[in-house]
Every structure is written in C-alpha cells, then in structure tokens.
C-alpha cells in the first residue's frame, strides 16, 4: 500500500473521530454525520485508485449501486418511529458482511498455506473472532428488527432448556475458534458461523419490551468489534479505526441506556429467565379514571404559570410534534413558562425525542434532560404527558418486583396537576398499570395524539 494511500486512510480515520464528536451535540450532529459519510465514501473509492489489476470490478460496482440505492431509499422513506428497526437492520447487515469477508479472507489464507506460507496465529484468531461475533450480530439484529417491526412477538420467548442450549452454543463456538486457529479449515469456519447465528438468535429471543433497543446498541458494539478485527486481518487501518470507534461508542451507549433503565446489561439480556425483563404487552385496565375534554384542559393550561411537557413514543407514532410545538409557542406568547422533559430512554432509542422535536423546530434550549428538570416538577402547575407512560410510572420507585422497578423516572407525579394524553388505557411497553393514571390530580385526555393535540390547540386559541 503506497504511503499516500496510508495517509489518506489516516485522514479518513481522523474524520471519523471528528464525526463522532460532532454527533454528541444537536447543533453539530448534521455536519458530523456528513463528515463521517464523506470519509466513508473516500475510503470506498481508494482501492480503485491504488490496487493494480483489481478483480471482479463489475460485481463490486453492482454491489455498491445496490447498497447505495437501498440505503438512500431506506433513509428517505423510514418513519421516525421505525428508526430503531432501521438501525438494527443496517447493523445486522454490517455484522454479516464482516463475517463473510472473514470467510473469504480465510479462503485466501488457505491458498497461501497450500503454497507453503504459514499463516500467523493472531490473524487466524482475529478471523475466527470476526466470523463468530459477526454472525451473532447479524442473527441477533434480525431478531430485534422482527420484534420491533412486530413481525414476531415483542415479548420474551423462553423455552425449557434455553440456558443449556445457549451455554452449550457458547462453548461450541470457543472450541471451534480454537480448532480454527490450530488447524486451519474452511469447514470449521462455516460451522463456527452457523453456531454464531444460533447464539445471536438465542441471545435476543428472551429479551422483550423496552429492553430491545438496549440489545440493538450492544449488537452495534459487536459489529464494530468485528469490523476492527477484520481491519486487522485485511491490514486496513481505516476499518480498524472505524470498527474500534463503533465498538467503544456502542459499548458506552449500551451501559448508559441500561443505567437509564436502572438495570444491568446482564439483567437486560437474561432477566426474563427469572421474570425480570420488561415484558411488553399487557391488558387495558377497566378501573375508573377522571377524563376531560380538550376545552377543559385548554383552560387549565392557559391559566398555568409553569407547564412541563413529557413527550413519549405515542407522540412519535401520531406525528403530533408540530401541533405540540404550536401549542407550546402559543402558551409561551401568553406568558406561560414551558419546557420539555426528556427521559434518557423516551421513545425507542436515546435521542429519539430530541430528533423528533428538532424536526418540528423546537428550540434546543427548551429540551431539558431528566436530571436537570426533575427538581422542577414540584413547582409546575401542569405536567402534560403526551404519549409517554413507563417513564413517569411511580411503580419504578414504589413497587419492588415490578419490571421497571429501579428505573429512574421523570417526577411528573409531583406536579400540581397531571394531564395524560392517551389513545386508550393499555399499559406502556413494560406491560404494567401506571398508578399515576388513577391519582385524584390526574386528568386523562383520550384519543389519537395528533387529533387531540389539534383540538387542544384550537381550544387554547379560542380562549
């Protein structure tokens, strides 16, 4: 590899680091994303410029065209509520691609071995790691996609002997990896890939409810590590840097999300085996609640001095963020102090609500993280909960044994009045009732969030 190519790869690696830094803040995220994408494009073009007699060029170009068309179409058409599914799908494809590249590289290694060249043991170990973990990431990501897309049940899938089968599969993967390093054979790598696929499926099946996005982040870290290992095998510095960045950031994100749920990663993955997972589903309650009309809630909001909005996944599903912003702007013009309280795992992934509200041109200054705003609920006249449930459920603080017990929540229950905008009385993703709905200071406003928000906006305008 010529020196100038190595320098360009290094520059692209620096761009990836700067892109990741840019993604850490809403004002710089767009430019950071564009910088990372540009570096990736340069990295893909470079092999065409310095490799002599590049083979299978038409097939490579065809693959690039198919991938580009699919990526652009997916990015342009995906709904904001389906973003986690897209992340899972793209991540799975990345892990599968890394595993396939490792298998192809092993085929080249076998050719060198037949020619009398002794392959390096560490390179073989990196190849085995890439095949195994890449397969785990691919299969696991496909299952998470199916759960979130409701192609299969979102509840944990458990069957007798699952822990034994999972443990046996892990042991088999380790044994096969050792065999591959000591006795290079393509069939061993293929069996290792199949075992990795089984591990990926068994890893995700017991996960349910709000835990699925955490697993997506973990599998994303797995994919990053496989890409880094593949970069070592291919002697490609850019892959090594990019994979390490994805692996490290994915690991930190997984830990932060688990902390936001008040859980450990181990509990997220295996909690369902002892009844500790967020289960999802649940039946609608028939207990009596206090409901109201948009006109009554409009009066309550119009004469409040301090209002805190708690957005959730229901807001994203209904695409009601634009009407909500208009309502907040109108209240602000009338002297009402309004902010948005953002829970770390509101929606389906970290930042989901931030992106959704930014799409509606909500000022960043009005978006306040949980730790910054929790102390202000006690001074709020109204807490308006739009499509959220579990993130304000007091059971997280008061009910040991509840699926969400120990999860940090927004203290909406401390507000003087609480208004819940809900489609029905069905529980949230955790599948348990929210006792806050039945409190005397809580009013429910039933209906589709977008339709109801429009009626509420008109009622406030009419005052």
What CATH code is carried by the domain that includes residue 308?
3.40.50.1220
Reported confidence tier of residue 24, pLDDT bands at 50, 70, 90: confident
The answer to whether residues 327 and 453 touch, using CB atoms and an 8 Å cutoff, is yes
Same domain flag for 241 and 311: no
- 387 pLDDT above the threshold of 90: no
Question: Which region among 28-37, 119-128, 161-170, 271-280 has the lowest average model confidence (pLDDT)?
Answer: 271-280
- Please give the average per-residue pLDDT across 78-86, as a whole number: 81
Residue where the block lists tokens 């290992």: 229
pLDDT for 209? 64
Q: Are strands 382-386 and 442-446 parallel, antiparallel or unpaired?
A: unpaired
Q: Which residue has the higher pLDDT, 261 or 368?
A: 368
CA of 450: how far to CAs of 80, 314, 455, in Å?
A: 15, 10, 9
- 116 pLDDT above the threshold of 80: no
Residues known to be catalytic: 390
Q: Which run of H or E residues covers position 254?
A: helix 237-260
What's the farthest any 2 CA atoms get from each other in the chain?
87
- 300 pLDDT above the threshold of 90: yes
Same domain flag for 331 and 260: no
Q: Which run of H or E residues covers position 206?
A: none
Domain-located, residue 47:
no
Domain-located, residue 5:
no
The answer to whether residues 311 and 357 touch, using CB atoms and an 8 Å cutoff, is yes
Domain-located, residue 235:
yes
Same domain flag for 324 and 445: yes
The answer to whether residues 430 and 403 touch, using CB atoms and an 8 Å cutoff, is yes
- 133 pLDDT above the threshold of 90: yes
Q: What is the pTM of this model?
A: 0.81
Same domain flag for 325 and 269: no
Domain count, the chain: 2
- Please give the average per-residue pLDDT across 387-402, as a whole number: 83
Same domain flag for 269 and 303: no
- 259 pLDDT above the threshold of 80: no
- 275 pLDDT above the threshold of 70: no
Domain-located, residue 237:
yes
| pLDDT cut 70: percent of the chain above it | 93
Q: 219: Cβ–Cβ under 8 A, 6 or more apart, which residues?
A: 88, 91, 92, 95, 136, 137, 140, 141, 144, 200
DSSP structure class, residue 234:
T
pLDDT tens track for 397-450 = 888 877 777 788 899 999 999 999 988 777 666 667 888 888 889 999 988 888
Same domain flag for 210 and 298: no
Q: Which residue has the higher pLDDT, 98 or 84?
A: 98
Rounded Cα distance, 181 and 187, in Å:
13
Q: Which run of H or E residues covers position 185?
A: none
Strand partners, 445: 421
Domain-located, residue 19:
no
Same domain flag for 85 and 187: yes
Same domain flag for 255 and 298: no
User: In the structure encoding, which two tokens stand for residue 2, read together?
Assistant: 């010529």
pLDDT tens track for 210-230 = 678 888 889 999 999 999 998
pLDDT for 74? 87
Q: 61: Cβ–Cβ under 8 A, 6 or more apart, which residues?
A: none
Domain-located, residue 164:
yes
Same domain flag for 328 and 452: yes
Q: Which residue has the higher pLDDT, 338 or 261?
A: 338
Same domain flag for 199 and 326: no
pLDDT for 353? 81
Which of 223, 246, 274 is the endpoint of a domain?
274
For all residues of the chain together, what is the average pLDDT?
86
Which of 242, 274, 306 is the endpoint of a domain?
274
| Most confident by average pLDDT, 39-53, 282-296, 347-361 | 39-53
| Most confident by average pLDDT, 52-56, 193-197, 290-294 | 193-197
Reported confidence tier of residue 178, pLDDT bands at 50, 70, 90: very high
Which of 243, 274, 305 is the endpoint of a domain?
274
pLDDT for 113? 67
Same domain flag for 183 and 248: yes
**Number of residues in the chain:** 463
Same domain flag for 311 and 246: no
Rounded Cα distance, 101 and 263, in Å:
36
Domain-located, residue 65:
no
- Phi, psi dihedrals of residue 369, rounded to the nearest 5°: -70, 160
Question: Which region among 267-271, 343-347, 369-373 has the lowest average model confidence (pLDDT)?
Answer: 267-271
- Please give the average per-residue pLDDT across 343-351, as a whole number: 75
CA of 265: how far to CAs of 109, 347, 394, 395, in Å?
A: 37, 19, 23, 21
> Which domain, by its residues, includes 308?
294-462
- 2 pLDDT above the threshold of 70: yes
Reported confidence tier of residue 267, pLDDT bands at 50, 70, 90: confident
Burial class (CB in 10 A: 0-12, 13-18, 19+), 371: exposed
For the chain, the C-alpha Rg in angstroms (whole number) is 25
Domain-located, residue 380:
yes
- 138 pLDDT above the threshold of 90: yes
């Amino acid at each position: 590899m010529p020196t100038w190519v190595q320098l360009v790869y290094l520059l692209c690696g620096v761009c990836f680091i700067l892109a990741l830094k840019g993604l850490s803040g809403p004002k710089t995220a767009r430019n950071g994303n564009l910088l990372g994408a540009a570096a990736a494009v340069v990295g893909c073009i470079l092999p065409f410029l310095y490799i002599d007699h590049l083979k299978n060029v038409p097939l490579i170009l065809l693959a690039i065209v198919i991938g580009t068309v699919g990526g652009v179409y997916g990015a342009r058409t995906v709904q904001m509520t389906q973003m986690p599914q897209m992340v899972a799908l793209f991540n799975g494809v990345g892990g599968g691609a890394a595993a396939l590249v490792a298998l192809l590289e092993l085929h080249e290694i076998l050719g060198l071995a037949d020619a009398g060249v002794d392959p390096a043991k560490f390179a073989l170990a990196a190849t085995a790691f890439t095949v195994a973990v890449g397969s785990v990431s691919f299969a696991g990501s496909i299952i998470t996609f199916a759960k979130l897309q409701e192609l299969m049940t979102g509840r944990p899938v458990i069957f007798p002997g699952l822990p034994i089968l999972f443990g046996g599969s892990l042991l088999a993967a380790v044994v096969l990896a050792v065999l591959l390093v000591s006795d290079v054979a393509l069939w061993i790598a293929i069996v290792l890939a199949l075992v990795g696929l089984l591990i990926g499926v068994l890893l995700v099946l017991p996960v349910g409810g709000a835990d699925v996005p955490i697993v997506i982040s973990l599998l994303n870290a797995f994919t990053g590590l496989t890409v880094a290992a593949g970069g070592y095998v291919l002697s490609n510095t850019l892959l090594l840097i990019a994979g390490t960045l994805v692996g490290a950031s994915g690991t930190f994100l997984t830990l932060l999300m688990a902390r936001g749920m008040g859980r450990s990663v181990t509990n997220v993955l295996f909690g369902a085996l002892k009844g500790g997972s967020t289960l999802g589903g649940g039946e609608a309650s028939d207990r009596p609640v206090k409901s109201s009309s948009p006109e009554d809630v409009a009066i309550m909001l119009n004469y409040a001095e301090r209002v805190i909005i708690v957005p959730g996944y229901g807001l994203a599903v209904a695409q009601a963020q634009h009407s909500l912003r208009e309502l907040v702007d109108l209240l602000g013009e009338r002297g009402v102090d309004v902010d948005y309280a953002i829970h770390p795992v509101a929606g389906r992934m970290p930042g989901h609500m931030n992106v959704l509200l930014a799409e509606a041109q909500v000022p960043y200054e009005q978006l306040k993280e949980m730790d910054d705003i929790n102390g202000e609920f006690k001074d709020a006249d109204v807490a308006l909960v739009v499509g959220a449930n579990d993130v304000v459920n007091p059971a997280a603080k008061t009910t040991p044994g509840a699926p969400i017990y120990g999860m940090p929540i927004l203290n909406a229950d401390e507000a003087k009045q609480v208004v819940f905008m809900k489609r029905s009385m069905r529980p949230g993703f955790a599948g348990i009732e929210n006792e806050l709905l039945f409190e005397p200071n809580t009013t429910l406003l039933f209906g589709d969030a977008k339709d109801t928000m429009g009626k509420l906006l008109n009622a406030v305008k009419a005052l």
